Structures are given as structure tokens and as C-alpha cells.
Structure 1
Amino acid sequence: MCDQWKEEFEYAVQVARAAGAVIRKAGECEIKVQTKSCAVDLVTQTDDRVEKIIIGSLKEQFGEGTHCFIGEESVSKGKPCVFTDKPTWIIDPVDGTTNFVHGFPFVAVSIAFAVNKKLEFGVVYSCIEDKMYKARKGHGAFCDDEQIQVSDVKDINKSIIISEHGTDRSPEKVSKIFSTMQKILRIPVHGLRGSGTAATNMCLVACGASEAFFEIGIHCWDIAAGVVIVREAGGILLDVDGGEFDLMSRRMVSANNKTIADRIIKEIEIFEVVRDDAEI
């Protein structure tokens, strides 16, 4: 029986590792920084170069025109974010660019693959740590070759929760983000954390180091690979309003179980963001 998408999955692992090596080497050299949407939304030449390497490698391996691509840097340059039923790669070449610029040691390559708008596998290579997180639908989640699973904590008071503050620094959004964090800290929880990379945050939930990660304002390329890894590790994904998770909505709660997720959702102050697939 054909093991569907196995070849694509194994190649994605190879490509992610090779991309991570490029990022590590670039981190040893001068880093030239530009901005995208605002002064704190950073991009480097490495982001662009690594995305081109990843997409070029995939096209060469599987044939030009056979697959679709959603890449962070391509979208930032004006390419539409179109999610169809066709085989689609969703790529964040350098998740944690601000970390990369500052030498903060959490930077990840994130590669996901979807067919019929359903995520089939995800690969997250935390390249400074040299940890390869990976999962295929129905095959479990792994860190390197060791299977991982979410924690069994159900008591919110015994949890570590992860969140990020994003790049939109408008007073209204900043106020709601930090109000939410304050309310969660006052539950109380054991701690509130953030690695600076959504892909890594999701992997920390998947391996049981944290009970949940939530954020409003993330993008599909930040979390697509992590979604598969969390699910295959036994976790769940929800919208921040408690509804069904939507990859393009830019709103997400990932958690070890519904008890923890529901408790966090009670405290989240929701604000509006533009969907990734919105018409420009």
C-alpha cells in the first residue's frame, strides 16, 4: 500500500535542516536588517534567501507547476495568499527574525504541506538548538527520533502558558494583549512565557513543556507546521472565541486539552485582525 506523502515529508525534513544550516552560518556574519509593515516587523536578506532556497528545492524535486506555495516573504512582497485544494506548501523560512537579528537563540524553519486545504504534515527545525520537530497526520509527533506528547496537566493553576505580543503596537491592541496576560497571570498560572517564534512555541506545547500557546495576529506560515505537530502529539486547536480553528483567521489557541484551552479563552480580550486570505 502506498504511504501517501511520505516522500514529500522526508524531503521537507532534509530541506528544513539544510535551510537551518544556512541560517546558522548567516548568524555568524553581518546581518542586514530591513522592515516590513512597521519599525518592529523585521526582515533580513537571510529570510529572502532561505525562502528561495526552500521553494527552489521543492520545485526541483517535485516538478515546476505541480505544487502551490504560500511563503511569508513572497506574501510580504505582494503575492496573494491563496489557499486552494491543490497540494500546497506553507513556509516560514526564518520564524523568529527579531530573535535572529539579536542573537536570541530561538529561530525556526517551518514547513507545512496541505492537500484539499487539510494539513498533511509539518516540520519545524529549531536550528540554533538543533532540534527537529516533525509530524505526519496519523503517524505521531517527534522531536528528532523521539516521540513526543502533550502534558497531562488539567489544573490551570499548574500550567505554563505561552503567548506573544506581535508587531502591531497600536495602543488599543497593546492594551488588550497585556490585559489578557495580566488576567491569565492572576488565575494564577505557574508562568507566562514566549520564545519569540510561534512555531517553536507550538512545539513546546507538543512536547509537554507548556500547556498552551495562544495569539491573535499570527499568520498561517507561523503556525501551519506546528498545527500538525500539536495535533499528532495529542493536543487541540481552537479559535480564541472557542470555535473551530481556522488556519487563515490569524487567531489561535493550541493546548494540551480542552479544559486548559477553555479556561484561557475566558480571559482573552479579542481584537480584529485582517485574515491572511482576505482580498487585497
Structure 2
Amino acid sequence: MSDLWQNAMDHAVAIARKSGELVREALRDDRKVMTKSSSIDLVTKTDQKVEQLIIQSVREKFPSHRFIGEESVAAGETCDLTDTPTWIIDPIDGTTNFVHAFPFVAVSIGFYVNKQSEFAVVFSCLEDKMFTARRGGGAFCNGEPLQVSDQEDVRQSIIATEFGSNRDVEAVDKIFSSLRNILCLPVQGVRSAGTAAINMCLVASGCVEAYYEIGVHVWDVAAASLIVSEAGGVLMDVDGGAVDLMSRRIIAANNRTIAENLVKEIESFSPTRDDTPPPQVNHY
């Protein structure tokens, strides 16, 4: 069975690289923008083309496998993670970055069996960085091993976060209250790459000590979660409990000490209806 998953992982790396080529071509030729839930929740034809490319390619090779894709769910497909081998796809993580040619855009592919991550691929298209992880086999960037930072003092840490597409006043107030609390610990800096997957890969790379966000979707974090774990990091809910990738809340940190420092400062909130996946989502 492990050979089968290695074959699937090799295919994921190849199709992520091919998708990256499509993204780079589109940056030169076609960045036509549409919106989903609001004027700041963007989607492009390239998002849809990349997801179709990945799904069609995988279906040809692994016809019994299932999919959770950002654009498929937006079009009405169920967001249902079962025990069946499932590919969780974000065709362009960082669509707003893509639209503005801001240089952090990722293709994210996570593969789950029995609701457990088996391998992960995050391709930072414009940086030409291929992040990969295999359960129990470590995490890598362009073939070089990754290891989280060994920093345990939050005051000597860089923290990454994002602001999402929720512009509800109460949610924005809590986002900035959390940011103020964390800045005043104090931390050495706060960064935002504009993509959850790349932020989490930065944690895995040891460049930042932690990333947190409320409002992410499972396709944003399904792949990068394994990359963080295999690089020696920890995953946690913003309230301090075990992470649930369907809950839309996450802390990814280099160690539990840093994560627990953030838990004390983050003010949680529930996403607005427009920022929530369809009601058929199943938690696990």
C-alpha cells in the first residue's frame, strides 16, 4: 500500500509543477477576476483551470479516489472528508496575490486516507519552491530537509497571520485586538505572505516561529499541516485544544511553548455566513 501512496505522491509533485507553469503563464497573459462571496473574495479562471487540470489528471490515474477542491466546493460539491483516499486541493492559494502579481502564490495538494494525511505538496510557483512531506518521512523543500526553529521565547519570534475576507466589523475588531496583543508581548515582528500554505511552510522552514488564523478553509491548510508536523512543529486550535482542519481555526508553531503563548492573546470569533463553507461540511 505504501508503494501506491508513493506513486500518488510522485504524481502530485508532477501535476503541481505543471499547474505552476499554468499559473506563471496566466500571470503574463490572463488574470481575469471574478468574485465569490464578496468583492474581496476573489476567484480567477486560472483557479478553475488548475483545479480541473489536477482533478482530471488524478482521476485518470486513480479513478476510485475522491476530491475536495476549493472551486468545486464553491460550485456546490460537498466538502466531506471520509475514510476513502481523498485529494484536498487549493489550486491557487493566494488568489489576491495572483491578481496583483504579489510574488507568493501556491498550488496546495494534500492526500488523506482514513482521515489521516499521507503526503503533502505545496508548490510556491513564483519562487519555484517545492515543499513536500510524507507521513513519518520528514518534510523537504526542493529535496532539502526542513526543520522548525528552536526558538522558545515568543519575544524573540516572528509570527505570521492573515486577515481573511471577512469584513464584519466585530470580526475585524477581534483580528486587530489579537494582533495588538501579540505585538505587545512583544514579538520581534509580524508577517503576512498572503497565503496560508506558504505561511505554514515558512514555519516548517524555521523562518517564522508560528502562524495563526481564523477563517481558513480545509484546502488552505490540509497539505501544509503535514509539512509543519513532519518538520517538527505542532498544530493547535486557537483556543488551545486539538486542531480540527474543518474548524477553520489553526495555530501552526515551532513548538508548544510558542503556540500556548499565542493562545492566551488570540480573540476567537465565528466567521460570517458569507465566509463559511456550504452546510454539508462534515467535521472530524
Place the TM-score, normalised by the shorter chain, in its bin: over 0.9
Deviation of the 1:78 alpha carbon: 1.2
2:29 is paired with a residue whose SS is: coil
Amino acid in structure 1 at the alignment position of 2:158: I
CA distance in 1, matches of 2:141, 2:277: 29
Structure-1 residue corresponding to 2:180: 182
Of the three residues 117, 120, 123, the one matched with 1:125 is: 123
Q: Does 1:266 align with 2:267?
A: no
Alpha carbons of 1:2 and 1:195: their partners in 2 closer, same or farther (altered >3 Å)? closer
1:5 is paired with a residue whose SS is: helix
Deviations 1:222-265 (A, max 9, x none): 00000000000000000110001101000000000000000001
Deviation of the 1:279 alpha carbon: 2.9
Q: Does 1:160 align with 2:161?
A: no
Deviations 1:65-104 (A, max 9, x none): x011000000011111111110000000000000000010
Amino acid in structure 1 at the alignment position of 2:280: E
Structure-2 residue corresponding to 1:60: 60
Output the aligned Cα RMSD.
1.3
**What 5-or-longer segments of structure 2 have no aligned partner?**
none
Amino acid in structure 1 at the alignment position of 2:36: K
Deviation of the 1:276 alpha carbon: 4.7
Amino acid in structure 1 at the alignment position of 2:205: C
Deviations 1:177-226 (A, max 9, x none): 01100110000001000000000000000000000000000000000000
Structure-1 residue corresponding to 2:90: 92
Alpha carbons of 1:3 and 1:251: their partners in 2 closer, same or farther (altered >3 Å)? same
CA distance in 2, matches of 1:234, 1:2: 22
CA distance in 2, matches of 1:253, 1:2: 29
Structure-1 residue corresponding to 2:22: 22
CA distance in 2, matches of 1:278, 1:11: 32
Q: Is the 8 A contact 1:206 1:234 kept in 2?
A: yes
CA distance in 1, matches of 2:49, 2:262: 38
Kindly tell me the number of residue pairs found equivalent between the two proteins: 278
Q: Is the 8 A contact 2:238 2:266 kept in 1?
A: yes
Q: Is the 8 A contact 1:220 1:247 kept in 2?
A: yes
Q: Is the 8 A contact 2:68 2:87 kept in 1?
A: yes
Alpha carbons of 1:4 and 1:234: their partners in 2 closer, same or farther (altered >3 Å)? farther
Q: Is the 8 A contact 1:159 1:211 kept in 2?
A: yes
Deviations 1:12-40 (A, max 9, x none): 00010000000000000131100001110
Normalised by the length of structure 2, the TM-score is 0.95
Deviation of the 1:277 alpha carbon: 7.3
Structure-1 residue corresponding to 2:33: 33
CA distance in 2, matches of 1:279, 1:43: 22
Structure-2 residue corresponding to 1:9: 9
CA distance in 2, matches of 1:82, 1:278: 10
CA distance in 1, matches of 2:83, 2:136: 20
Alignment of 1:128-277 (within 5 A): 128-273=126-271, 276=277
Aligned sequence identity (%): 57
CA distance in 2, matches of 1:251, 1:55: 26
CA distance in 2, matches of 1:204, 1:218: 17
Normalised by the length of structure 1, the TM-score is 0.97
